[in-house]
Chains A and B, each alone.
Chain A
Amino acid sequence: MLGLQAKDFRLLLIVVAMTMLAPFILNPFPVNSAMAQFNAGYPDLMQRFVIFGIFAIGFNILFGLTGYLSFGHAAFLGVGSYAGVWMLKLLTMNVVPAILLSVIVAGLFSVIVGYVSLRRSGIYFSILTLAFAQMSFALAYSVLTPLTNGETGLQLSLDDPRVLGVTQVDGTIPAPHLFGASMRASYDLVLGGWQFTFNVGYYLSAVVLVLAFYLAIRIFRSPFGLMLRAVKSNQQRMSYTGLNLKPYMLAAFVISGMYAGLAGGLMVAMDPLAGAERMQWTASGEVVLMTILGGAGTLIGPVLGAGFIKYFENIFSKINDTVLHQWFGFMPDGLEDVVVFIVHPFIGKGWHLTLGLLFMLVVIFLPGGLVQGGQKIGGLFRRKAPADDSATRKQPAE
């Protein structure tokens, strides 16, 4: 189907089901229950899940296939964001031109960065990309202030020209829209104690994610993808056979940069603001973490990793001591205090610590990432088939 093998098609269907039903999957607890703290089905976070999923899928095309670790991918996301906001400011609040320009600008920028960085491999490549990203961050942060508005971030204002749209409606800035459908529009479905939010912006991002995922499968299964994998397994041998690898590498780098630009464009379509910190090295490191956590080189891994990290960032960071006291309120006073004291460093601003511990556990016990974990669990319920088992061990997680 759609030019895919049955197995890949099943994977695509799973992704379609996951994204389309996300409002249900992510809101498993009734609104007024104590567990509602763990619900993640609100528009902003759902949008982040799929947008960072796209970012990670793109990163994985470079890192997962060729093994080249780019440590500056956030720069493309940032450049895409700025391009997108300028489009919303100057042209129209329709998000289509903004997203297209984001992809194009990020693509052009990645041609330049890629052309220089790909002259080296291994650690030197990583350092070069990191240097480019930090340079872009510094430029956006202070040098190019008229273009980027520095630390405050580029925002819309009431007197933007918007030549194809309206500047303002009754003293308010119009919302970004897709041919009239506002990105902020939501429909709340209330079923008993449960509430499910269906947001236009989320579904736009989700459709884009599915398309991006489909494209990634096609790239993974194409002769081009095979060539990239050959680079990963032995680059020297490839060169000795007389192949010029540069064009393949640059193409992979640019495709991956365009994915990042797409993510940046979607981000500003959902929330029209672009800040310089999006390009900082920590942001580049985050996408590396996402990919490794989910399973580098696998198709669905990066999406899972992105969801995992964003969930921690947004849900765990908001648990504070008051919430803890409510949870452990059933304990005797002294014991309650002890438990809260022990849990305290791991919640709120300590979410980095929790995430770090989990990341260590995953890397130590599941080197193939969350995908490997899923396979292990799946293996428990499957009938023993020794021959099949050895086959999966040889070519892990696809």
Chain B
Amino acid sequence: MTKSNFTRRGLMKTGAGAGAGLALPTIFTGAVWADAHSGFTNAPQGDSVTLGFNVPQSGPYADEGMDELRAFELAVEHLNGGGDGGMMQTFSSKTLEGNGIMGKKVNFVTGDTQTKSDAARASAKSMIEKDGAIMISGGSSSGVAVAVQSLCQEAGVIFMAGLTHSNDTTGKDKKANGFRHFFNAYMSAAALAPVLSKLYGDDRNAYHLTADYTWGWTQQASIQAATEALGWKTVNNVLTPLASTDFSSYIAPVLNSGADVLVLNHYGGNMVNSLTNAVQFGLREKQVNGKNFEIVVPLYSELMAKGAGQNIKGIVGSQNWDWKLGDEGTAAFVKSFGTKYGFPPSQAAHTCYAQTLLYADAVNRAGSFNPCAVGEALAGFEFDGLGNGPTLYRADDHQCFKDVLVVKGAENPEDEFHLVEIVEVTPVDQVTYAPDHEMFAGGELGACNPGA
């Protein structure tokens, strides 16, 4: 990697490190540390600030994790004034000028969540305790996101959730220090239901295969509620372990269940494998109750479409964002991401990039890194230009409300980046719900915690 700025800094750092290591300890002269505690955890010292990006680099969501990491690196580059600035130019708030956050240069540390709550918390803790991270972001599993969010609440730093789609993240497990830009299972269901009704009619029998953790449960409950409101019947719901790689034994019973729709509440590697199994069993050519057998995948992504290949054709699902949207925010982001990495970004990358900018902007507007001040700046914040149209960060549950995309697998994709085509952009009003909706009830934000 030819980056002269790294080389120069690296040279100085290496030299300084060697010098400092050799120098005698200058006891009790730590002037830098004089203002070390200013009322909240990891108050940034000197002229830089550290963010922690905690993503799955191994496990079933590793592909999403790698793309998130790319987006984080791009966002940091833009915040520090590198590159073409990406969505910073189209963002409706204009406080970001490429001079870092509040004039402090942005550094970052990375970690591997391994898609496991324990490992993710260990990694986040080391970022907070050792590296002095003031904000943690990332995550591609809702289980992990919920675990890390509660850790950030306890430690007193902000958690900007990456890809997490469970209702619980901003429902029963919501926290005052946690914020989510990504949409959720309820919104997916609300956006999908009218399209499903139009395509497949109102008299259907659905069979659910569901990933056995918080996201799967809420995704399944949301879809079931939305489709039953249409008049569909739910034949069965089978929970599958997140670590499964072969779903044949779960698919076989579907054939004789009398169901004519299979809903795969799976994501990432799980969905690629279960869809492939379903297609191999010939489900798509089957006729049940005089109707074509259909498969629905509520949460979709380009990365999954790529993994599933031919099998994805014509299958309907929902997305938070797609790089083919026409607005100028999307165009700016796709351009700078594509220039740097040579392919268009996934929705996971988009939400992580947006979250980083939103955090930086909130700090600038609040004039402080204090998590409580940042939280206040984010709560109820309305913005535009980050690719999703006008968006509201609702104060009641720290969930973003914006349009939702209904997509389907392209029949004749022109290349590997056009595997998904947009069917409909569901307006935000149709997916908005009350903060005390029964699927989100049971938790409370609590008070913001600034830590130390």
Interface residues of A (CB under 8 A from B): 29-30, 32-35, 39, 42-45, 48, 138, 141-142, 150-153, 155-158, 168, 170-173, 175, 184, 188, 190-195, 197, 271, 273, 275, 277-278, 313-314, 317-318, 320-322, 325-330, 333, 336-337, 340, 348-349
User: Given that A318-B109, A329-B7, A349-B112 are known contacts, is A153 also in contact with B13, CB under 8 Å in the complex?
Assistant: no
Residues of A within 8 A of B18 (CB): 34
Q: Which of B1-15 contact A (CB under 8 A)?
A: 1-3, 6-11, 13-15
Chain A: minimal CB distance from B237 (Å): 13
User: Given that A30-B20, A173-B154, A340-B1 are known contacts, is A150 also in contact with B30, CB under 8 Å in the complex?
Assistant: no
The 3 residue pairs across chains A and B that have the minimum distance between CB atoms: A329-B10, A34-B17, A171-B447
Q: Which of A138, A157, A278 contacts B443 (CB 8 A)?
A: A157
Q: Does the CB pair B30–A151 fall under 8 Å?
A: no
Q: Does the CB pair A333–B21 fall under 8 Å?
A: no
Residues of B within 8 A of A151 (CB): 117, 143, 212-214, 242
Q: Does the CB pair B7–A278 fall under 8 Å?
A: no
Chain B: minimal CB distance from A316 (Å): 11
B57 at the interface (CB under 8 A from A): yes
User: Given that A171-B447, A327-B10 are known contacts, is A150 also in contact with B213, CB under 8 Å in the complex?
Assistant: yes
How long is the Cα–Cα vector from A316 to B348 in the complex, in angstroms? 26
> Contact mask B373-389 → A, CB, 8 Å, 1/0?
00000000000000000
Q: Does the CB pair A33–B20 fall under 8 Å?
A: yes
Chain B: minimal CB distance from A355 (Å): 14
> Contact mask B6-41 → A, CB, 8 Å, 1/0?
111111011111101100011111101100100000
Considering only CB atoms, which chain B residue lies closest to A318 in the complex?
Answer: B111
Stretch at the interface among B122-130, B320-328, B338-346, B360-368: B122-130
Residues of A within 8 A of B28 (CB): 191-192
Q: Does the CB pair A326–B14 fall under 8 Å?
A: yes
Q: Does the CB pair A34–B14 fall under 8 Å?
A: yes
B315 at the interface (CB under 8 A from A): no
Residues of A within 8 A of B447 (CB): 170-172
Q: Which of B15, B130, B143, B151 has the most CB of A within 10 A?
A: B130
Pair count A-B, CB < 8 A: 176
B224 at the interface (CB under 8 A from A): no
> Contact mask B151-175 → A, CB, 8 Å, 1/0?
1011000000000000010000100
B303 at the interface (CB under 8 A from A): no
Residues of B within 8 A of A193 (CB): 20, 25-26, 30
How long is the Cα–Cα vector from A184 to B347 in the complex, in angstroms? 37
Q: Which of B84-122 contact A (CB under 8 A)?
A: 109-112, 116-119, 121-122
Q: Does the CB pair B1–A321 fall under 8 Å?
A: yes
User: Given that A34-B14, A192-B26 are known contacts, is A273 also in contact with B446, CB under 8 Å in the complex?
Assistant: no
Residues of A within 8 A of B355 (CB): none
Chain B: minimal CB distance from A4 (Å): 35
Residues of A within 8 A of B336 (CB): none
Q: Does the CB pair B154–A175 fall under 8 Å?
A: yes
Q: Does the CB pair A33–B17 fall under 8 Å?
A: yes
Q: Does the CB pair A44–B126 fall under 8 Å?
A: yes
Residues of B within 8 A of A184 (CB): 154
> Contact mask B434-452 → A, CB, 8 Å, 1/0?
0000000001111101000
B176 at the interface (CB under 8 A from A): yes
Q: Does the CB pair A329–B125 fall under 8 Å?
A: no
A-B contact pairs, 17 of them (CB 8 A): A34-B13, A44-B129, A48-B122, A151-B143, A151-B214, A152-B168, A155-B146, A158-B444, A173-B446, A184-B154, A271-B151, A277-B117, A318-B110, A329-B13, A333-B7, A337-B1, A337-B2
How long is the Cα–Cα vector from A184 to B125 in the complex, in angstroms? 12
Q: Which of B2, B15, B36, B443 contacts A188 (CB 8 A)?
A: B36
Q: How large is the interface on B (under 10, 10 to 19, 20 to 34, 35 or more residues)?
A: 35 or more
How long is the Cα–Cα vector from A153 to B214 in the complex, in angstroms? 10
How long is the Cα–Cα vector from A190 to B119 in the complex, in angstroms? 30
Q: Which of A42, A153, A340 has the most CB of B within 10 A?
A: A153
Q: Does the CB pair A158–B57 fall under 8 Å?
A: no
Residues of B within 8 A of A168 (CB): 446
Residues of B within 8 A of A33 (CB): 16-17, 20-21
Q: Does the CB pair B110–A329 fall under 8 Å?
A: no
Q: Which of B13, B111, B118, B445 contacts A277 (CB 8 A)?
A: B118
How long is the Cα–Cα vector from A328 to B150 in the complex, in angstroms? 38
Chain A: minimal CB distance from B330 (Å): 28
Q: Does the CB pair B30–A327 fall under 8 Å?
A: no
Residues of B within 8 A of A271 (CB): 121, 125, 151
Chain B: minimal CB distance from A354 (Å): 14
Q: Does the CB pair A44–B1 fall under 8 Å?
A: no
Residues of B within 8 A of A197 (CB): 129
Q: Which of A157, A190, A329, A333 contacts B30 (CB 8 A)?
A: A190
How long is the Cα–Cα vector from A34 to B19 in the complex, in angstroms? 10
How long is the Cα–Cα vector from A35 to B151 in the complex, in angstroms? 28
Q: Does the CB pair A141–B241 fall under 8 Å?
A: yes
Chain A: minimal CB distance from B18 (Å): 8
Considering only CB atoms, which chain B residue lies closest to A325 in the complex?
Answer: B6
Residues of A within 8 A of B446 (CB): 158, 168, 171-173
> Contact mask B412-452 → A, CB, 8 Å, 1/0?
00000000000000000000000000000001111101000
User: Given that A157-B443, A191-B28, A326-B9 are known contacts, is A32 also in contact with B154, CB under 8 Å in the complex?
Assistant: no
Q: Which of B210-252 contact A (CB under 8 A)?
A: 212-214, 239, 241-242
How long is the Cα–Cα vector from A120 to B449 in the complex, in angstroms? 53
Q: Which of A141, A157, A195, A325 contacts B1 (CB 8 A)?
A: A325
Residues of A within 8 A of B242 (CB): 151
Residues of B within 8 A of A194 (CB): 25
B58 at the interface (CB under 8 A from A): yes
Q: Does the CB pair A326–B6 fall under 8 Å?
A: yes
B255 at the interface (CB under 8 A from A): no
Q: Does the CB pair A329–B9 fall under 8 Å?
A: yes
Q: Does the CB pair B17–A35 fall under 8 Å?
A: yes
Q: Does the CB pair B11–A329 fall under 8 Å?
A: yes
How long is the Cα–Cα vector from A55 to B297 in the complex, in angstroms? 43
Residues of B within 8 A of A191 (CB): 25, 27-28, 30
How long is the Cα–Cα vector from A175 to B110 in the complex, in angstroms? 27
